[in-house]
Chains A and B, each alone.
Chain A
Amino acid sequence: MNRRQATACVASDSGTSHRQIGSAANLMTWSRKLETRTRRLLAHGRSRASRESGQSLVVALVVTGALTISVAAIITYMTSNESAFGRDRQADRALNIAEAGLNNGLSVLANVNPNNSLGSWSTPYTASVDGGQVQYSLAKSGSTWTITATGTSPNGKVTRQLQESVNYTASTTTVDASAVYGDGIFVNGTSGCTNVTSNATVKANIWVNNSLCLTGNINLVPATSNAYSLYVGGQYSATGNIWIGTSPSALLSSADIVGGCNVVGNGPPGSSGSSGSVVCSTSAKSHIYASSYSSSPSSGQVKPTVDAAATYALGKWNTPNCTTGSFTFDTNGTKDRSAGSRNLFPSSSYNCTIPNASGGGNIGSLAWNNATGTLTVSGTVFIDGDVNFVGNVAAHYTGNGTIYVNGVVNPTGNISICGPPNTTATAGSKCSKTWDPTQGQLAIVALNPTSQTNAFNITGNQEWDIVAFAVGTVNVTGNAGITGPVIADGANLTGNFGISIPASAPSGSPSTTTTTVYGWKVVPGSWKELK
C-alpha cells in the first residue's frame, strides 16, 4: 500500500469518531516508519551484498578443493600404475618360473621314464626358481604325457599355470661328418687300442675314440706350431722314441686325452726313464707338446654313416656301359657279393660307366689303361664283392671318386696306388709321397659285410695315396703306408699316414652321419597357459 492509497483509506473513514481519526493517524505514522526502516534495511543489504570482501577466500577454498581432488587422483593413478606394473613384473617372473617347471617336468620324465615304460606318475614336485616357487606334475593319457606347472612369483601374489604335452618319439638327424677327412687317422671304436708301431710318421690330426698305443719310432710333429690336434678318447700309451710335437717350435694346437697318459718301459726320450702313469700336460714326462691340454670327452667328430644299400641302389651296376674291355661290378642286380673277387688292375684295359638307377646320366665311371698304368675314376663306383690285387703293381690314378667294395680289400704283392701328379711309379716301387689331393683323389670304402677281422689288410712295400674308409679295421703292416686319411672303426698301423690330406671329402664318399634317437619331444602346439 503506497501513501496515496493509505490517504484514500484514511479519507474513506472520515465519517467515524475522533478517536478513530486519531488511531488512523498513528497507523500512518507507524506505517511510514516501517517503510523507512525497510528501505534502509534493503539498502544496507544491497550494500553488503555488493561488497567483494571474502570472495577471494571462497574462491581459494574452491580451487584448493579442486586441486586437492586432483592431487588425490594423481596419487591414486600413480599408486595404481606402480601396483599394476609391479604386478606385471611379478607375472612375467611367474610365467618364466612356470616355464622352468615344464622343463623340470620334462627332465623328470626323461630320467625316470626313459623308455616310456611307466603307465603313470602321480608325484607332484616343487622347486625354487628365481626366488619363486613352481609346482609341476606329470599325467599320462593314452600315449601322451601332460606336464602341468604352476609358477608363483617371488612375492607370492601372482601365479601362472602352464601345460604342455610330450610324446616318446624317434627322431632322425643327419649332420655333416666330413671333418674326419681332415684327420690322418680317425678311429671310431671305443674299445681296445689304435696301435701305431714301428717307424710311423703322421702329419695330420689324430682322432681316436679308443686308446692310442704307440710303440717304436713314432713321429707326430707339425711343420709349424698349432697345425695338428690330438684327441684320445681312452688312454695314451707310449713306448719308444716318440715325439708328439716338439717344444716350442712345433706344438700341437691341442691335446685332449681323456684316459690319461701312461709311459711304458723306458718311455719317450727326455722322460728320464719314467715309467707308468704321467701327467699328460707335463711334456717332459709325456713327451706331448701342445698349446693346450684337456681331458674332456668329446663327440666333436663322428664317423660318417655308410649306407651300403642306398649306395647300391644308386646305379645299374650289373649293366655298365663299357667302351673298352669289360669289368664286372655286379652280376645279378642284387647286393649279394655276386662279383666275387675283383682285380682293379687286370692285364687288359677297360673303360666303363654305370648308368644312374633313376635314369638319366651316370652315377660314376671307372677305367683302367693297362699300357700306361692309369686308373681313371669319377663319382660313385660300387663293386659287389672283394677287391684283391696280385703281384707287383704301380698304378697311378686321375679323377675324383669313391669305390665302394662290398667286401674287403686284401692285396698281395707290392702294390702302390699313386695319386696325382705322380705318373712315374713303377711296379714294386713307391710313389714318393707326392700326392696332391687338389689334383685328384680316390677313396676306397671297404664295406666288410661279413665282418672280417680286417676290412683293409695291406702288407709289403706299398704306398696308397688314397682315402681308406673301412667298416671295421684297417691293418697296415710291413713297410706299407696310406698317405691319405685312414677312417675306420679300429686300426693297426705302421708306416706313413696322413701325409696328404684332401681339402674336402672325395666325390661320392660318405660324408654325413645319420642317427636315430628315441626320446621325449614336445607335441607342437600343445603349450598353453591355463591361468
Chain B
Amino acid sequence: MSTAPETLIRSGWSRATRRLGASSGQGLVELLISLTMLTVVVGGLLSVLDAGQLSLQRADQDGTALTLAEKQLEVYRTVAYANIRLDQTSIDAIPSTDPYVTANAGDSTIPSSAGQVVGGVNGENACTSPLPLQCEPTQNANAEDTPDHRSYRIDTYITYVTPTDGRQTKQVVVVVRDASKTTLPILARLASTFDQANIATG
C-alpha cells in the first residue's frame, strides 16, 4: 500500500514525464527554426544575386567602355601621321577642374592636357571645322548612341614620344569615363604609339 505523499509524487512525476514525452508544439519550434535558417540563406542568396547583377552590369559597362576605347584608337590607325593630332582650341575650352585636365595629377600614366600634339603646329595638319573625330580631345557618347544605352565620355591625349634610338612617334592614350556620374570615373583605357611609317594615308 502506498502512502499519500508517495502517490502525489508518483502522479506528478508521471505527469511530467508525459508532458515531456508529448510531441505537441515541437512542429512550431521546428518551423520557426527552419524559417529563420531559410530567411538567412535566402537573404544571402538575394544579396549574392544582387551583387552578381551589379557585377554583370559593371562588366557590361566596362566592356562597352573598352570597345569605345578600341574604336577611338582605331580611328588613328586609319589616318595619315600628320592627321594624328588634337584641336588646341577645344583643349583650351576644357575647364581646369575637368578630369581631362586633372587626371595627370593623380595618375602620371595619363598625359598632361598641356603640350600635346595639336593641329597647325610642327607640321601637323590643321584641325578645321567641323572637327573630325581625331581632333576632338573629349567626346560624349550619348545613351542613344551606345549599345547598352549608357553615357560615356571618351578622352584622348596625344603626345610626342621618342623611343630610345628611335625617331619621334606619337603616343595616343584613350580614357573612357562614366558620364552618368559627376566624378566621371575611369571605366577603361588603352594606349599605343604610332610611327609615321606604320599607318594609313587617310
Contacts and interface: CB of A to CB of B under 8 A. Distances in A.
Contacts of B52: 74, 77-78
A472 B172 CA distance: 43
A81 B56 contact: yes
Interface in A76-130: 77-78, 81-82, 85, 88-89, 92-93, 96-97, 99-100, 102-104, 106-108, 110-112, 123, 125, 127, 129-130
A96 B190 contact: yes
B121 interface: yes
Contacts of B123: 296-299
A486 to B, nearest CB: 26
Given A106-B198, A166-B197, A130 B109 contact: yes
A56 B41 contact: no
B185 interface: no
Interface string B97-122: 00000000000010000000000111
Interface residues of B, number: 51
Interface string B130-161: 00000000000000000000000000000000
A127 B164 contact: yes
Interface stretch (A28-36, A65-73, A195-203, A271-279): A65-73
Q: How would you classify the secondary structure of chain A's contact residues: helix, strand, loop or mixed? A: helix
Contacts of B184: none
B44 A71 contact: yes
Contact of A85 (B51, B63, B73, B121): B63
Contact of B33 (A60, A107, A108): A60
A521 interface: yes
A107 B168 contact: yes
A57 interface: yes
Given A60-B38, A82-B55, A104 B26 contact: no
B200 to A, nearest CB: 11
Contacts, number: 147
Most A CB atoms within 10 A — which of B30, B42, B45, B163?
Answer: B163
Contacts of A298: 123
Interface stretch (A46-54, A216-224, A323-331, A412-420): A46-54
B174 to A, nearest CB: 9
A129 B110 CA distance: 10
A308 interface: no
Contacts of B66: 88-89, 92
Nearest to A111: B167
B163 A125 contact: yes
Contacts of B48: 71, 74-75, 78
Given A64-B41, A67-B41, A96-B73, A129 B171 contact: yes
Interface in A206-220: none
B166 A54 contact: no
B197 A519 contact: yes
B118 to A, nearest CB: 11
A375 to B, nearest CB: 41
B112 to A, nearest CB: 15
Contacts of A75: 48
A530 interface: no
Kindly state the interface size class of chain A when it binds its partner.
35 or more
A67 B42 CA distance: 7
Interface string B25-54: 011001101110110011011001101100
Contact of B197 (A53, A60, A110): A110
Interface in B173-198: 173, 188-195, 197-198
Contact of A74 (B31, B49, B73, B171): B49
Nearest to B167: A111
Most A CB atoms within 10 A — which of B26, B59, B122, B198?
Answer: B198
A56 B59 CA distance: 40
A9 interface: no
Contacts of A265: none
B197 A78 contact: no
B34 A103 contact: no
Nearest to A127: B163
A37 B168 CA distance: 104
B34 A59 contact: yes
Contacts of A519: 197
A58 B37 CA distance: 12
B193 A93 contact: no
Nearest to A112: B165
Nearest to B77: A99
A59 B34 CA distance: 8
A478 interface: no
Nearest to A299: B123
Nearest to B124: A296
A100 B30 CA distance: 66
Nearest to B60: A85
A130 B45 CA distance: 39
A93 B164 CA distance: 22
Contact of B167 (A57, A81, A107): A107
Contact of A521 (B30, B31, B197): B197
Contacts of A284: none
Given A78-B55, A298-B123, A104 B34 contact: no
3 smallest A-B Cβ distances: which pairs? A60-B34, A107-B166, A130-B191
Given A74-B49, A85-B62, 4 more contacts: A67-B42, A81-B56, A96-B191, A130-B191
10 contacts: A53-B27, A60-B30, A60-B34, A60-B37, A81-B55, A89-B66, A96-B73, A108-B163, A123-B165, A299-B123
Interface of B: 23, 26-27, 30-31, 33-35, 37-38, 41-42, 44-45, 48-49, 51-52, 55-56, 59, 62-63, 66, 70, 73, 109, 120-123, 162-169, 171, 173, 188-195, 197-198
